[in-house]
Amino acid sequence: MDKSEAAVIERLAADTKIGYSLDRKFYCDDAVFEADMDRVVSRKWIVAGHVDRVRNKGDYFLYKIGNESIIIVRSGESTINAFYNVCRHRGSLICTKPEGRVARLTCGYHAWSYGLDGALLAARLMPADFSKKDNGLHRCHIRVFYGFIFINLCDEAPVDFDASFADLAPYLDFHGFADAKIAYAQSYPTTANWKLIVENFVECYHCAPAHPEFCSMHPPEALIAFDAVDKYLPALRAWETRAASLGRPLGTVDDGPESSHLRLLLQRTIREGYDSETQDGRPASSLMGKRLGFDQGRMYLSFSPFTQLVATNDFAVLFLFTPRSTLHTDVDLYWLVDRHATEVDVKRMIWGWDETTKQDKDITENNQAGILSRHYQPGRYSEHERRVVTFQQWYLAQFGHTLACTNSGA
Amino acid sequence: MDKSEAAVIERLAADTKIGYSLDRKFYCDDAVFEADMDRVVSRKWIVAGHVDRVRNKGDYFLYKIGNESIIIVRSGESTINAFYNVCRHRGSLICTKPEGRVARLTCGYHAWSYGLDGALLAARLMPADFSKKDNGLHRCHIRVFYGFIFINLCDEAPVDFDASFADLAPYLDFHGFADAKIAYAQSYPTTANWKLIVENFVECYHCAPAHPEFCSMHPPEALIAFDAVDKYLPALRAWETRAASLGRPLGTVDDGPESSHLRLLLQRTIREGYDSETQDGRPASSLMGKRLGFDQGRMYLSFSPFTQLVATNDFAVLFLFTPRSTLHTDVDLYWLVDRHATEVDVKRMIWGWDETTKQDKDITENNQAGILSRHYQPGRYSEHERRVVTFQQWYLAQFGHTLACTNSGA
Amino acid sequence: MDKSEAAVIERLAADTKIGYSLDRKFYCDDAVFEADMDRVVSRKWIVAGHVDRVRNKGDYFLYKIGNESIIIVRSGESTINAFYNVCRHRGSLICTKPEGRVARLTCGYHAWSYGLDGALLAARLMPADFSKKDNGLHRCHIRVFYGFIFINLCDEAPVDFDASFADLAPYLDFHGFADAKIAYAQSYPTTANWKLIVENFVECYHCAPAHPEFCSMHPPEALIAFDAVDKYLPALRAWETRAASLGRPLGTVDDGPESSHLRLLLQRTIREGYDSETQDGRPASSLMGKRLGFDQGRMYLSFSPFTQLVATNDFAVLFLFTPRSTLHTDVDLYWLVDRHATEVDVKRMIWGWDETTKQDKDITENNQAGILSRHYQPGRYSEHERRVVTFQQWYLAQFGHTLACTNSGA
C-alpha cells in the first residue's frame, strides 16, 4: 500500500459513520482495491480448497487470487505445498491447467523442472555460478487443518495459525471434514467488489424477499439476524439437549472487530421435521463425521470473511469468496460429503445453495451497479444487519481505524 | 468537475481555433468526459422518452445516462415521476428490467418498498430513530411537454424549463405529439464520443456521399447546410403559403451559442411529389396532429444537442443521443405516429432513418477510430458545416470559453 | 515520451542487471509502452508487408501499429506510398477495409478525395482561403527493398535506410524476394507485450521442450544458441563449400546493441537428408531466387526485432511482430514462394511454422500471465539466451542506457 492509497483510505474512513453502508469509493476505486489486497487479503489465512482435490502424490490444483496463481500440490502422504505459479527463470506460468497430476513441476517454456517440494532440480546450460539452491519456487504459507487447505499470501511471518483457529478443532473433528470428499463443485463469478459479497452473506435481512428456497428449509425465527431471538430460544434449547445426546459439541464462536479473522460459529435447527437442508428435508447423503444420528441441526462457520462453511448432517457447503479485481470476485462452492458415501443425490443436495447462490450473484451485481451512481449515498442498516456493521468495523481496523461501537444516534 | 478536469478543458479550449475540428482530447480523454457530464450533460433538459411508454399508472421504463439509471414512472393520471434507481438502504438498483408495470417500487434485495411518488413505505426492522420520511428516493427533475418526457440531472435548481421551451408550443401542438404513440423503436449503440455523434447530425455535408436513401427523399437544395439557399427560396416560399393554408404554423428557431439549449427549428419541403419521407413518397400512416391535409413539408427540431426530432406529415422520428462513457454513446430512435392510427406500414416508415442511422453509426465510429491516431489534427470545416462550429462554440461556452464568431482567416 | 515516462524508464533501467530478465514494469506498464512507441517503435524501419500485396496500381492494404492505421498503396509502376489513414478534414479513417483496389483515396464521410500520391484532389464547398495543397494526407516514410515494404513512423528524418540495410542486398537478391509471391498468410494475435515476443523468438533454449516439429527439421547442434558450436563446425564448413558451389553468397551479419536495428543474419544447415523445412524434408514449392539446386541450407535474417525472416530453399517465412498496446501484439506470418511457382503444397509448407507459432503464442501468453504476479522477479538467463541479453542491451540503449557487457558475477 503506497502513500496515496493510504491517504485514500484515511480520508474515506474518517467519513464513515457507524450503522451506515460505506462510501462508494470503497466498492469502486482501484486504489482501495490495491490497499485491500495489501492490507487485508494478503494477511489472512484463506481457504483455497479441500484436501480431496489433492489426494495422491503429485495431485495439484491452481488457486487464483488477485493477480496471483498459486499451485497447491501434494508432495507426500502428509505434505501439501503451495507455490507461486511463476518460474524463477523468466516468469512463465508453470502449470497452465486448472488441475492435474504431475511427477515434477516442469515449466513448459524452457523445461526448468522443480520437485514437488519446490526445489529446482533441472535447469540446462546455466552459467557456472548459477545456484539451483537459490532458485526454488517461491513458497506461499500453507496449513492444512481438518481437510481445509489454508493459504496466506503474507511476505513476512503470517499471523499464528493455531492461535487463530485451534479452538475450532472439536467442531471440525465432529463434522468429519478431514474425512470428507467433494461431491459437487460450482463457480459463480460475480461482477461486484468482494466486500459487497461478504456483506450480503453475513446478513439474512434479505433472505425473506430474495431466497424462497433457502427460507423453506429453515424455521423463520432462526433466520433473523443470525441471533437466537427470544421466541426461538425454547426450541433451540430443546434441540441443543437432543443434539448433545447425539454427540454434537455445542458452543459458539463470535469474534469481535478487533480479531484477526472475525470468525463466527453458530449452531441452529433446520425446519421442523427436516433431516437435511434439501427441498423435502430428506437426506441427500449419509451421515457425516462422528454423528450418532440425524439431529436436525446445522452449523454456520465463518473462518474469515473470505471463507464460509454451512454444514447440515449429511453434507456441507464450503464457500470461497476470492477477490480478483475491484469489480470482480470469484465465488466457488464445494459440496462436501462423507468420503465413504456411496449414494449421493447431487440434484437434491445442491438444490438449496445452488439456487440461493445464483440469487446472491444477481443481488450483489445489482447492488454494485446501483452504487456506481453519483446519487448513491451510505444508507442506514436495519437491526438485522449488525453483522455487516461488525464486518465494516473489522475491515477498517485492518487499516488502523476504529469505528465507535455504539449504534445509537446513527 | 474537479480542478484537474477544469485545467484540461482550459488548456484545450485555449488552443481551439474557430472553423476547425476540436483537439483529439475532447473526443478521447476520460477527464474531458467527466467534465462534460458535470458541466454540460447534467445541466440540460434532455428527452428521456415519450409518454406512450408510460400510459398507465405504474408503467415505468429505465433511462440510462452516464453511470446513472433513472426510473421514469407514472404515478397518476397527470403525474410522471423520475427517480434515481438507487435504493436508499444499501444502494442496489431497484428496477432491474428495462420496463414494466408495478404497484410499488420494491427493491429486490431487502424489500424496501417505495410508493410511485418515491416515498419510502416499508422498511422492516429499522432502528427506532430511523426516519422513513428522510429516506424517499432521490428525485430527478422531470417535465412532460407535449408528450416528451424531459429530465434534468442537475443537483440544484435547473435552468427554467418554460423560459427554455415554451415558445415551441404552437409547433408541438400542431404536430400532435402529445397524442402520439410509438410505432417502432430501435437502438444503435455507437462506439464514439457523444460530440462526434452530435457533430455528425447537425451537418448535411456528408449526406450526398453517405446517405443515398436520405437524399432520395429530399430536394437537393434543401439539404445544403440546413440553410435555405437562394435557388431553393422560391420553392420554399411557395410551399410556406400552401402549408399555412393547411394549418401549419410557420416560423424558425435558431438559438445562438450563448443559449442554454442551442435549439433549432427549421421547416422545409420534402422531394417534389412526395407526401412522406418514405422510399416511394406514399404515407406510411395517417395524418398526425391538426393537419388538414398532406402539405409535403417536414420539420426538423433540435431540442438540444442530445434530443433531435424530425417530423414528416404522417410520422416523426425522435432521436436520443445519450452519453454513456468517453467512447460510448447510446443512439435510440422512436418512430411516432398518431395514437389512433390503425394501419402503420412499419417497414416503409423506418426505411429512411433506419438505413441512415446505421450509416451514421459506421461513419462516427470510423471518425472516432481515425481521431485516435497521433496524426489526427484539427481540420478545416466547409461552409456546410457551420452548425458544427456553432455547436462547438456552444459547447465551450458551457465551460466559460468564447470562440470568436468570425470565420475569416481560419 | 513525456517526463514521467522518461523517469519510469530511468528508474527501471538503473535497476536492471545484465544477464537477468527485465523488471515486470517493462512488460506490464502503460507508461513504458508509451515510451516504447515514442523512442523505439516509431524510430525504426519496420517491414509492413511484401510488394505482392500491392502488385497493381491502386492496390492497397492497411497496416495497424499502436493506435495508427497506415495505408500502403501503389500509385504507379515503381511507386508505393504510405499514408496515415486519417482524413485531413475531420479525422475519419479513409480506408476501412483491410485491403482493396481504389482509383482514389476517398473518405466515406464527406467525400474528400485524395490521389494515390496523397494530394487532396476534391473537397467540396470549402472556404475561399482553404488550401488544398496544404491538406494532403500525412505521409509515413516508406522504402521498398527487394520486395519488402519498410515503413518508419518517425516525425523527423529517420535513420538512413541504405546505411542500415544496403549490405544485405546480395543475400536478398540471391533469395529472389523481390520476385516472390505470398502463398499463404496467417495471423496469431498474442496477449503479451511485444518484448516478450521478441525475446522468445531470439533464443532457441526453449526449442527442445516446446517445439517438436521445429526440432525435427534441424540438426540438434544447429539449434543451440544460434551459434555454431564446435561439434557442428565440420558439418557447417562442408555445407558452406557445397552451398557456395550452388551460388549461395556466404557471410554473417551480427549487429551489436549499439546498432540501430540489431540485425542478425545466420546461415545453417537443415536436417541431414532434408531439402526443405517440411515434415518429410521434401520441397513444398520450386527453388527460389538464383539457386542452382537444393543446398540443404537455411537463412535466418532479422531485419530488426520487429521483422524476422526464415528462408529455406523453396519458401521463406516473413514474421511481423507489431506492438498494438501494452499487452497486445500482432504476430503475422507470410509464406513467400517464387512468383512463378505453380505447384505449392501449402499444407506441407506451413506445417512447421504454423505449429511452432501457435506454440509460441501459448508460451508468450503464459509468460506474460506469470509476470503479472507480484512474485515475479527478474531471473537468470542461460548461456543459450545471450541474444535476449543483447536485445535488452539494445532496447535500453534506445533510452540512452548502457548495460555493461560482462556476464560475470551476474
pLDDT in tens, C129-185: 999 999 999 999 999 999 999 999 999 999 999 999 999 999 999 999 999 999 999
Which residues are registered as beta bridge partners of C214? none
Across the interface, of B199, B362, B375, the residue whose CB is closest to C86 is: B375
Contacts of A163 by beta carbon, 8 Å cutoff, 6+ apart: none
Calculate how close chain B gets to C91, using CA atoms only, in Å: 5
Q: What is the mean pLDDT of chain C?
A: 94
Which of A119-133, B226-240, C190-204 is least confident? Answer: B226-240
- B383–C contact, CB cutoff 8 A: yes
How far, in Å, CA of B311 to CA of B317, rounded?
A: 6
State how beta strands C264-269 and C297-304 pair: antiparallel
Considering Cα of C159, then C161, then C162, then C168, what sign does the dihedral take?
positive
pLDDT in tens, B373-404: 999 999 999 989 999 999 999 999 999 988 76
Contact B68 A384 (CB under 8 A): no
Better-scored residue on pLDDT, C272 or B231: C272
pLDDT band at residue A249 under the 50/70/90 scheme: very high
Binding partners of B (≥3 Cβ pairs within 8 A): A, C
Best residue in A42, A65, A105, A110 to probe C by mutation, most C CBs within 10 Å? A110
Q: What are phi and psi of B72, to 5 degrees?
A: -105, 115
Average pLDDT over residues C263-277: 95
Please tell me the predicted confidence (pLDDT) of residue C406.
45
pLDDT in tens, B6-38: 888 888 888 899 999 999 999 999 999 999 999
Please tell me the predicted confidence (pLDDT) of residue C227.
63
Which of A80-84, A222-226, B303-307, C240-244 is least confident? Answer: A222-226
Please tell me the predicted confidence (pLDDT) of residue B407.
44
Is a pLDDT exceeding 70 seen at residue A409?
no
Is a pLDDT exceeding 70 seen at residue C287?
yes
How far, in Å, CA of B106 to CA of C378, rounded?
A: 55
Is a pLDDT exceeding 50 seen at residue A406?
no
pLDDT band at residue C410 under the 50/70/90 scheme: very low
Contact B409 C129 (CB under 8 A): yes
Looking at residue A400, its amino acid is: G
How far, in Å, CA of B371 to CA of B377, rounded?
A: 8
For B73, B88, B115, B119, B132, the CA distances from B122, given in Å and listed in that order, are: 19, 12, 9, 9, 8
CB atoms within 10 A of CB B155: 11
Q: What is the mean pLDDT of chain A?
A: 94
CB atoms within 10 A of CB C162: 10
Average pLDDT over residues A55-72: 98
Angle at B254 between CA B155 and CA B392, to 5 degrees: 60
Q: What are phi and psi of B337, to 5 degrees?
A: -135, 175
pLDDT band at residue C408 under the 50/70/90 scheme: very low
Q: What are phi and psi of C401, to 5 degrees?
A: -105, 140
Angle at C70 between CA C67 and CA C74, to 5 degrees: 175
Better-scored residue on pLDDT, B153 or B383: B153
How far, in Å, CA of A224 to CA of A384, rounded?
A: 6
- First-to-final CA distance of chain A: 31
Please tell me the predicted confidence (pLDDT) of residue B226.
59
* Residues of A in Cβ contact (< 8 Å) with C376: 86, 91
Angle at C199 between CA C196 and CA C203, to 5 degrees: 145
Nearest to A84 by CA among A159, A7, A142: A142
The full DSSP string for C151-192 is EE--SSPPPPHHHHHGGGHHHHHHHTGGGEEEEEEEE--BSS
Contact C124 B205 (CB under 8 A): yes
Calculate how close chain C gets to A323, using CA atoms only, in Å: 15
Contact C380 A68 (CB under 8 A): no
The full DSSP string for C80-111 is EEEEES--TTT---S--SSEEE-SSEE-TTT-
Nearest to A397 by CA among A263, A261, A194, A258: A258
Percent above pLDDT 90 for chain C: 89
- C110–B contact, CB cutoff 8 A: yes
Buried residues in B44-77 as b, exposed as e (16+ CB within 10 A)? bbbbbbbbbbbeeebbbbbbebbbbbbbbbbbee
* 3-class secondary structure per residue, chain A: CCHHHHHHHHHHHHHCCCCECCCCHHHHCHHHHHHHHHHCHHHCCEEEEEHHHHCCCCEEEEEEECCEEEEEEEEECCEEEEEECCCCCCCCCCCCCCEEECCCEECCCCCCEECCCCCEEECCCCCCCCCHHHHCCCECEEEEECCEEEEECCCCCCCCHHHHHHHHHHHHHHHCHHHEEEEEEEECCECCCHHHHHHHHCCCCCHHHHCHHHHHCCCHHHHCCCCCCHHHHHHHHHHHHHHHHCCCCCCCEECCCCCCCCCEEEEEECCCCCCCCCCCCCCCCCCCCCCCCCCCEEEEEEEECCEEEEECCCCEEEEEEEEEECCEEEEEEEEEEECCCCCCCHHHHHHHHHHHHHHHHHHHHHHHHHHCCCCCCCCECCHHHHHHHHHHHHHHHCCCCCCCCCCCCC
Which of A32-41, B9-18, C110-119, C387-396 is least confident? Answer: B9-18
How far, in Å, CA of B250 to CA of C63, rounded?
A: 53
- A67–C contact, CB cutoff 8 A: yes
Q: Are C81 and C151 in contact (CB under 8 A)?
A: no
| pTM score, whole prediction | 0.94
Binding partners of A (≥3 Cβ pairs within 8 A): B, C
How far, in Å, CA of C405 to CA of C397, rounded?
A: 12
Better-scored residue on pLDDT, C401 or B147: B147
Buried residues in B362-373 as b, exposed as e (16+ CB within 10 A)? bbbbbbbbbbbb
Which residues are registered as beta bridge partners of B59? B101
* Residues of C in Cβ contact (< 8 Å) with A124: 205, 382, 384
Contact C92 B19 (CB under 8 A): no
Please tell me the predicted confidence (pLDDT) of residue B14.
87
- A191–C contact, CB cutoff 8 A: no
Calculate how close chain B gets to A52, using CA atoms only, in Å: 35
Which residues are registered as beta bridge partners of B265? B253, B301
Is a pLDDT exceeding 50 seen at residue B106?
yes
* Residues of B in Cβ contact (< 8 Å) with C82: none
How far, in Å, CA of C174 to CA of C290, rounded?
A: 5
Q: Are A302 and A276 in contact (CB under 8 A)?
A: no
Is a pLDDT exceeding 50 seen at residue C292?
yes
Contact A409 B129 (CB under 8 A): yes
Q: What are phi and psi of B304, to 5 degrees?
A: -170, 170
Percent above pLDDT 90 for chain B: 89
Percent above pLDDT 70 for chain C: 97
Average pLDDT over residues A287-295: 96
Contact C374 A88 (CB under 8 A): no
Across the interface, of A363, A374, A376, the residue whose CB is closest to B109 is: A363
pLDDT band at residue B231 under the 50/70/90 scheme: confident
Residue in the block written with cell 504476430? C331
Better-scored residue on pLDDT, C241 or C10: C241
Please tell me the predicted confidence (pLDDT) of residue B403.
75
ipTM for the whole complex? 0.92
CB atoms within 10 A of CB C347: 12
Chain center to CA of B158: 18
Is a pLDDT exceeding 80 seen at residue A111?
yes
Which of A385-389, B6-10, C110-114 is least confident? Answer: B6-10
Inter-chain CB pairs, A–C, below 8 Å: 92
Chain center to CA of B5: 26
How far, in Å, CA of B396 to CA of B388, rounded?
A: 12
- C125–B contact, CB cutoff 8 A: yes
How far, in Å, CA of B152 to CA of B45, rounded?
A: 5
Contacts of C121 by beta carbon, 8 Å cutoff, 6+ apart: C104, C113, C114, C115, C132
Q: Which helix (H) or strand (E) covers residue B235, if one does?
A: helix B233-245
Contact C135 B375 (CB under 8 A): no
pLDDT in tens, B185-210: 999 999 999 999 999 999 999 999 99
Q: Are A298 and A222 in contact (CB under 8 A)?
A: no
- B135–A contact, CB cutoff 8 A: yes
CB atoms within 10 A of CB A272: 10
Is a pLDDT exceeding 60 seen at residue B406?
no
Calculate how close chain A gets to B58, using CA atoms only, in Å: 21
pLDDT in tens, A212-238: 999 999 988 877 655 657 888 899 999
> What angle, 0 to 180 degrees and rounded to 10, lies between the N-to-C axes of helices A194-201 and A346-371?
120
Contact C382 A86 (CB under 8 A): no
Please tell me the predicted confidence (pLDDT) of residue B205.
93
Locate the chain C residue with the closest alpha carbon to B24: C91
For A132, C231, C327, the CA distances from C385, given in Å and listed in that order, are: 18, 19, 23
Contact C208 A126 (CB under 8 A): no
